[in-house]
Amino acid sequence: MIVAKPKKGTLFSLGLFIVLAVGLATYITLTMLQGRPVWYQYALVALLYPIGIGLAIKVVWGYKVVTVGKNRISIKYPIRFQTVNYTLKELASWKESVVKTATGTFKEVAIKFVNGKILNLSYQEHTDYPQVIQYLKKKCARKAIK
> For residue 69, what pLDDT is reported?
93
Name the nearest CA neighbour of 42 among 55, 54, 56, 25. Answer: 25
pLDDT in tens, 38-97: 999 999 999 999 999 999 999 999 999 999 999 999 999 999 999 999 999 999 999 999
User: Mean pLDDT of all residues in the chain?
Assistant: 94
Q: How far apart, in whole angstroms, are the C-alpha atoms of residue 131 and residue 146? A: 19
In 57-127, which ranges are E strands? 65-69, 72-77, 82-87, 91-100, 105-113, 118-122
CA angle in degrees (0–180, nearest 5) for 122-84-95? 35
